[in-house]
Amino acid sequence: MSGMLTRTLSQLHGRCGAYLTTNFGGTGGVCVVTLHPLPNGSIATDVVSGIERAMSMDRISRRVGAIAPSATLAVTTKAKAMKAAGENVIGFGAGEPDFATPDYVVEAAVEACRDPRNHKYSAVGGLPELKNAIVAKSMRDSGLEVDPANLIVTNGGKHAVYNCLQALLNPGDEVLLPSPYWTTYPEPVALAGATSVVLPTDAASGFRVTVDQLEAARTPHTKALIFVSPSNPTGAVYPRDEIEAIGRWAVEHGVWVVTDEIYEHLVYGDSVHHSMPVLVPELADRCVVLNGVAKTYAMTGWRVGWMIGPNDVVKAASNLQSHSTSNVNNIAQVAAAAALDGPLDAVAQMRSAFDRRRRIMHRMLNEISGVVCPETQGAFYAFPSFEAVVGREIAGRSVSSTVELATVILDEAKVAIVPGEAFGAPGYARLSFALGDDDLVDGVGRMADLLGRS
């Protein structure tokens, strides 16, 4: 085994800077590793951890061993570690609002703690008061009529993605996944034994997939499309006519749509959020809506999300959940119900702060030499192209990918950004603007100092 490892390491070393998909030592495990040359000639740790991952395949199941760690969390963790070590790091990695959960939500949770009913197991699919709040909110915010029997409450939106894909997918199924995609989507698709069919989009197309692209990728194995608007990471918001066209195409071909609406309230300028099953009601029997309180109410840590779908899918997901997590924490559910039943004032305030920051970000990023940044329409991310920066030498270091660029920017400017490779979009990077205005200006300014101004 160690001979194999040495051989593999030297082979890898010769390919530094590349992305590689390989099959290690006949384990049958496929491992995607990122190769970074270090100035001292050694191999960066994520290569070694990639190999360790592959080598541990006989200890860890292949299914789980093949899961890549969340790149967005990895950047945030590294930036936090540098901060803890006393470095003045500015992090653009976080996918969470930099605001506090509204007081009335916190108060509801405090009260719920004192209620002994909340100290016990509750229904797997959610507390009735939260389910009722989700029903009312769905009608209020998007005009979607929901029966409480057609929804379950999950441990955050991420868990809704997982439950839904486990309930829908069989090995051999294909899932259409427009890229740049949220880094989490491909993993639960693969865990279900299905394949993600990536459909690239770019800034020229507004990062929106077209019906022609979907149709060209459709095969007899196509089971579902993952659709998200506003999008993480691009901030793209699909206009009404495009959502209708995609929904009608899905109905025509019996393709399921999993539509992630977690950023529904964070749209700017003329952009408007529309829910696909509201625009195309015929889709309802093959549509699952995913949502949660994390982004709208600054409640990322509370872990409450939900999925709305046809009764058989929701029942299947509920059965799965009954053997994995059971009910979501009752206190968090009561807090989420209070949030949904309350006003939308807090999100209106956040939206106006994000709106201001997205303009600053747009202006400042476009002033950096080689950076092209479209104006964000929704969510709280800028997604600029660094294609003209890759290939340059920066601070004496040659940069051949956005992964390497992010490393150089973190090392030299102490600014954390998430490279586009994490979203299936090399050449781009994601910068969250969920941070204070001063830090934002300082952070983008440091990048401009490092990369040069145009």
Q: At closest approach, how far in Å is the CB of 295 from ligand PLP?
A: 7
Residues 231-250, interacting with ligand PLP (CB under 6 A) = 232
Q: At closest approach, how far in Å is the CB of 115 from ligand PLP?
A: 24
Task: Among 228, 346, 382, 413, indicate the residue that binds ligand PLP (CB under 6 A).
Answer: 228
For ligand PLP, give the closer residue by CB, 188 or 426: 188
Q: In the stretch 258-277, what mask flags binding to ligand PLP with x, by CB under 6 A?
A: --x-x---------------
218 residue type, one letter: R
Per DSSP, the three-state class of 53 is helix
Residue 165 binding ligand PLP, by CB under 6 A = no
Task: Among 93, 95, 378, 420, indicate the residue that binds ligand PLP (CB under 6 A).
Answer: 95
Are β-strands 90-91 and 195-200 bridged in parallel, bridged antiparallel, or unpaired? unpaired
For ligand PLP, give the closer residue by CB, 24 or 182: 182
Cα 28 off chain centre by: 28
Q: At closest approach, how far in Å is the CB of 61 from ligand PLP?
A: 24
Asked if residue 11 lies in contact with residue 22, where contact means CB atoms within 8 angstroms, the answer is: no
For ligand PLP, give the closer residue by CB, 183 or 401: 183
Count residues near ligand PLP (CB under 6 A). Answer: 13
Q: At closest approach, how far in Å is the CB of 173 from ligand PLP?
A: 21
Calpha distance 245→251 (Å, rounded): 10
Calpha distance 300→260 (Å, rounded): 16
Residue 300 binding ligand PLP, by CB under 6 A = yes
Close Cβ partners of 372 (under 8 Å, ≥ 6 residues apart)? 203, 366, 384, 385, 387, 388
Calpha distance 364→369 (Å, rounded): 11
Task: Among 158, 223, 265, 357, indicate the residue that binds ligand PLP (CB under 6 A).
Answer: 158
Q: At closest approach, how far in Å is the CB of 228 from ligand PLP?
A: 5
Task: Among 156, 247, 277, 309, indicate the residue that binds ligand PLP (CB under 6 A).
Answer: 156
For ligand PLP, give the closer residue by CB, 249 or 423: 423
* Segment near ligand PLP (CB under 6 A); pick from 9-17, 151-159, 272-280, 326-334: 151-159
Q: How many CB atoms lie within 10 A of CB 392?
A: 16
Q: In the stretch 173-212, what mask flags binding to ligand PLP with x, by CB under 6 A?
A: ---------x------------------------------
Q: At closest approach, how far in Å is the CB of 111 from ligand PLP?
A: 23
Close Cβ partners of 86 (under 8 Å, ≥ 6 residues apart)? none
Q: In the stretch 301-340, what mask flags binding to ligand PLP with x, by CB under 6 A?
A: ----x-----------------------------------
For 152-206, where are the alpha helices, taking DSSP H only? Answer: 156-168, 186-191
Question: Could you give the dihedral angle defined by the CA atoms of residues 408, 413, 417 and 418, in that order, rounded to the nearest 10 degrees?
Answer: 10
Q: At closest approach, how far in Å is the CB of 368 from ligand PLP?
A: 25
Calpha distance 37→13 (Å, rounded): 8
Task: Among 251, 294, 317, 440, indicate the residue that binds ligand PLP (CB under 6 A).
Answer: 294
* Segment near ligand PLP (CB under 6 A); pick from 56-64, 136-144, 150-158, 264-272: 150-158
Calpha distance 451→124 (Å, rounded): 52
Farthest CA pair distance, the chain: 63
Cis-peptide, bond into residue 39, ω within 30° of zero: no
Calpha distance 154→310 (Å, rounded): 16
Residue 404 binding ligand PLP, by CB under 6 A = no
Q: Is 85 exposed, middle or buried (0-12, 13-18, 19+ CB in 10 A)?
A: exposed
Q: At closest approach, how far in Å is the CB of 29 from ligand PLP?
A: 28
For residue 330, CA distances in Å to 105, 132, 394 come to 14, 15, 51
Q: How many CB atoms lie within 10 A of CB 201?
A: 20
Binding residues (CB under 6 A) for ligand PLP: these are: 95, 156-158, 182, 228, 232, 260, 262, 292, 294, 300, 305
